[in-house]
Amino acid sequence: MPQPIRIAMWSGPRNISTAMMRAWGNRRDTFVIDEPFYAYYLHLTGKQHPGADEVIATGETDWRKVVARLTGPFAKGRRIFFQKQMTHHLLPEIDREWLETVTNCFLIRDPREVIASYVKKRENPVLEDLGFIQQAEIFDHIRNRTNSIPPVVDATDVLVDPERTLRLLCGSVGVEFSKSMLSWAPGLRETDGVWARYWYTEVSKTTCFRPYRERVHDVPARLGEIFERCRDCYDRLYQYRLH
C-alpha cells in the first residue's frame, strides 16, 4: 500500500487554486480541505472580506487546532490529503514547525493577472493582501529547512497543458497521476468553504481547467509599486517552476 501523503499547495488569492482543488478532489484516493486558516486570518486581522462574519463564526479561529487537523488522521479509505492553502493566511504568529510534516508545493501566477482579478472584488489591496511576499517567505523557509527546492507550478503552464503539468506535479510530490484530475462535475462542493458563494462563481461553472487566453492587463497606477514588489517575488519562484 502506498504511504499516506499530506500535500499543502501554497497559492496567493485570485489564482487557479480552487480549480486545482477540484482536480485533486476528483481523485478517488484524495480528500481535500479549503483554506483552513481563513477564519483565523479574518479573526486576527479584522479584514472586511465578503462574508467575513460567517467565515469566522463557522470556522476554526485557533491556529493550533487547525494545525492539529492538517497533521492528524486521514479520512477513511483515502491516502492523499490535499490542503488548499493561502500564503497570506499563514500569519507570523503561526508556528512553522508543522510545515516539515507535510509535502509543500507552490502555485504561482503572473501578478498582472492576479491584480486584475483581485480589484474586481476589492479595489484597493495592500501588498500583504496579494500573498506574493508571504509565498516567497514560505518557499525560502521550506527550502532552507529541507535543503531542497519544493515543487513550483505556474498557472499559465497548467492552463496551457493541464495533463503535462499535473503529471510533473504528481511526480514531484511522489504520487501517480490520475486522468480523473483533468475534469470534474460543475457546481459547488461540501468541501468548499462557506465563502464559496462570494468567490467561486466562475469556478463553479467549470468542468475542467479552462484553456489559457492571453490578455493585456494594465496595472492601475495606484498599485504600481505593489506590482513591482509582487513581480520580484513571482520571478524568484518562476525560475524553479516545473516545465
Q: What 3 state SS string does 85-154 have?
A: EEHHHCCCCCCCHHHHHCEEEEEECCHHHHHHHHCCCCCCCCHHHHCHHHHHHHHHHHHHHHCCCCCEEE
Count of Cβ atoms closer than 10 Å to residue 30 Cβ: 21
Q: What is the pLDDT of residue 1?
A: 61
pLDDT digits (tens, 9 = 90+) for 22-71: 999 999 999 999 999 999 999 999 998 989 999 999 999 999 999 999 99
Task: Please return the burial class of 197, using the count of CB atoms within 10 Å of its CB with bins 0-12, 13-18 and 19+.
Answer: middle
Angle between helices 224-238 and 132-146 (to 10 degrees): 30
pLDDT digits (tens, 9 = 90+) for 173-226: 999 999 999 999 999 999 999 999 998 999 999 999 999 998 889 999 999 999
d(CA 38, CA 58): 11
Q: Is the pLDDT of residue 72 over 80?
A: yes
d(CA 25, CA 232): 32
Q: Is the pLDDT of residue 3 over 90?
A: no
CA distances from 13 to 27, 132, 140, 145, 199 (A): 24, 9, 19, 25, 10
pLDDT digits (tens, 9 = 90+) for 96-151: 999 999 999 999 999 999 999 999 888 899 999 999 999 999 999 999 999 999 99
Cell numbers for 200:
467561486
Cβ–Cβ < 8 Å for 107, 17: yes
